[in-house]
Amino acid sequence: MIDTNVNLFRWPFRRLIGDDPASLVERLRKKGVTQAWAASFEGLFCRDVAGVNARLAEACRRHGRNFLVPFGCVNPKSPDWEEDLRRCHEVHKMPGIRLHPNYHGYMLDDPALARLLPMAATRGLLVQIALSMEDPRTQFPLMQVPPADPSPLAGLLPRFPKLRLVLLNAGYWGGATTPHISRIKEAGNVWFDIAMNERVGGLARLIAETSPSRVVFGSHYPFFYFESALLKVRSAGLPRDQELAITEGNARSLLNGRV
Amino acid sequence: MTLDRRTVLKSFVAGFASAGSLAGAGNAGGAPGPGPGFRVWDMHTHLHGVEGATPEARMAELVRHMDRLGIERLILSQGYDQYIRNPTPDEVREENDRVMRAVRHFPDRAYGSVYLSPTNVEFCLEEFDRCVRDGPMISVGELEADVRCNSPALDPIVERAIALKVPILQHTWIKTNGSDPGESTPYDLAELARRHPQAQFVCGHTGGNWELGIRAIRDVKNVCAGIAGSDPTSGFVEMAVRELGAERVVYGSDAGGRSFASQMAKVVGAEIPDSAKELILGGNLRRLLRPSLEAKGLKS
């Protein structure tokens, strides 16, 4: 099982079980995970993104070699972000990056993002966009960050056909109710994780609206209970081939043997 | 259809145990799951957000999904379309009639819970008697009204609930980005519960901001924490058990707006003893409902 949506280190407003890399790896292995795509909570808050990515890469090597796959942070509103992108690819050998537009203060129609996406695609980097991290109703009062609106992606994605984009935490708070989400789903180069997919029958509905090959397993662990994503898959009544595709095959295809 | 739910649950748990082989992993030891023999009762469900053109069809859809997770029974309350502000008596009756229609066809899988709006107390008590005293419903709420629940307008409803020995599920939220007008908080519920120590309450959503909600109800022993209807944020159930005791934590999903899966995961994934999970997933709810069920000759 490949978990495409994991974060390392501490969330600043709550101690989480599994917020140190060693215990996170131990717990994920016990849950049947064979590979986890890991970003860093630090990437949301620290301005020294290069340092964040170096610590992430080191933790993945030290605690999860051949298990934790680092996805570096790039903030396209930060000076010289192009160097962060280069280091993710060339120095840390990361297969992808994870963006946090709402925490970094830009909308998805920002010209900076339109510059970043083709550069990542040219390098063959998979791009994950975390549309949200937390229900806005439960955020710390002094740190209120509304979800990113994915609507601009409908116009953006067709411009970069070589891009491979995964939307994380798209669902209950991340865009299921926005008017353009159906157009985004029509793009051939976008995938969806299931961490914030909700409602009774929600996963089957997402698959029907997209494709069994465009949905990947993502837990948002350790912020969420891992079992939330697992139970969604196990209780969706999916044919076995679809379940296998979602829990592993689609993610493996996305990385295309790069790990 | 007759279903052996323990068999379903066992096969479901066996499915967990094979997680590794399914995904090509060699070992999925420590796989999650409540374990065989757990009797899962869901205190907090609605027909809203469920596919189906009629209450009966939506209930059938809920049962289909309950079976996949080994949920034995749910408690159903109002909510079919959009939330109704300041509902008229006719609208309240319609909500309760829909619930009674839905559960009538699934007597071994669901009980109904009465919806009341305290803006019209006299009608409220009539509706209480129609649905609970003289009807099939076995509890009150989710009470989600346009009046905060610390209002004296709630007192006659609570007194009737005490008389009939039925628990009350009260909606509560503490929304960082602003509560709705008249929306109740756990602080309001704690105030109401202190006025009525003989009543039994479940704090719906535990205020959403559960770290605050748990603390707000901590010293009010006749209030349990309802875990339904919020993100499956890890640590919720562990803190509730630590601060309240497992006997004061009650599983619910808030389906159909939420999935059974994400909400059950809060218990299944919590690092607490199995004995605590058993209480939270159904034991506590059956204890709360026992007087009401026995009065109607129903089994818990």
Residue A208 pLDDT > 70 = yes
pLDDT at A109 over 70: yes
Please indicate, yes or no, whether residues B96 and B17 belong to a single structural domain of this protein: no
> Of chain A residues 111-170, which have a CB less than 8 A from chain B?
134-141, 144
Q: Which residues in chain B come in under a pLDDT of 70?
A: 1-33, 35
* Full residue range of the structural domain in which residue B79 is found: 39-295
- Do residue B222 and residue B138 come from a single domain? yes
Residue B278 lies in a domain: yes
- Dist CA A176 CA B225 (whole Å): 29
Task: Judge if B47 and B195 occupy the same domain.
Answer: yes
B9 part of a folded domain:
yes
| A32 close to B (CB below 8 A) | yes
Are B47 and B176 within one domain? yes
Lowest-pLDDT choice from A148-162, A233-247, B5-19: B5-19
pLDDT of res. A98: 98
Residue A182 has pLDDT above 90, yes or no: no
Residues B175 and B138 in one domain: yes
Distance between CA B70 and CA A105 in Å, rounded? 43
Give the model's pLDDT for residue B37.
79
Instruction: Tell me the average pLDDT across A96-120.
Output: 97
Contact between A50 and A83 under an 8 Å Cβ cutoff? The reply is: yes
Same domain, yes or no, for B28 and B53?
Answer: no
- Average pLDDT over chain A reads 94
Residue B14 is predicted with a pLDDT of 38
Averaged pLDDT, A183-203:
90
3-state helix/strand/coil string of chain A: CEEEEEEECCECCECCCCCCHHHHHHHHHHCCCCEEEEEECHHHHCCCHHHHHHHHHHHHHHHHCCCEEEEEECCCCCCCHHHHHHHHHHHCCCCEEEECHHHHCCCCCCHHHHHHHHHHHHCCCEEEEECCCCCHHHCCCCCCCCCCCCCCHHHHHHHCCCCCEEEECCCCCCCCCCCCHHHHHHCCCEEEECCCCCCCCHHHHHHHHCCCCCEECCCCECCECHHHHHHHHHCCCCCHHHHHHHHHHHHHHHHCCCC
pLDDT at B9: 42
**Same domain for B181 and B43?**
yes
Asked if B25's CB is within 8 angstroms of A32's CB, the reply is yes
User: CB distance B68–A172 less than 8 Å?
Assistant: no
Residues in A closer than 8 angstroms to B230, CB to CB, are 135, 138
Rg, Å, chain A Cα set: 17
Our count of domains for chain B comes to 2
Cβ–Cβ < 8 Å for B156, B126: no
Q: How far is CA A24 from CA A30, A31, A36, A130, A156, in A?
A: 10, 11, 10, 20, 35
- Tell whether A198 lies on the interface with B, counting CB pairs under 8 A: yes
Residue B300 inside a domain? The answer is no
- Mutation pick from B234, B237, B251 vs chain A, by most beta carbons of A within 10 Å, is B234
Mean pLDDT of A204-228: 95
pLDDT band at A172 (very low <50, low <70, confident <90, very high): low
The CATH number linked to B216 is: 3.20.20.140
Q: Among all residues of chain B, which has the CA nearest to that of A231?
A: B261
Q: What contacts A76, CB < 8 A, 6 or more positions away?
A: A99, A104, A106, A110, A112, A113, A115, A116
pLDDT of residue A184: 83
Whether B234 and A222 lie within 8 Å, measured CB to CB: yes
Which CATH superfamily groups domain A2-255? Metal-dependent hydrolases (3.20.20.140)
Assign A178 a pLDDT band (cuts: 50, 70, 90). low
What is the structure's pLDDT at A18?
A: 95
Same domain, residue pair B259 and B158: yes
Instruction: Give yes or no: residues B185 and B270 share one domain.
Output: yes
* B61 and B207 belong to one structural domain: yes
pLDDT of the residue at B35: 63
Q: Is A223 on the interface with B (CB under 8 A)?
A: yes
Residues near B234 by Cβ (< 8 Å), separated by ≥ 6? A16, A17, A18, A221, A222, A223, A224, A225, B269
Question: Do B270 and B176 share a structural domain?
Answer: yes
B25 and B79 part of one domain: no
Q: Which of residues 96-125 of B touch A (CB under 8 A)?
A: none
Instruction: Decide if B102 is inside a domain.
Output: yes
Using CA coordinates, name the residue in chain A closest to B70: A235
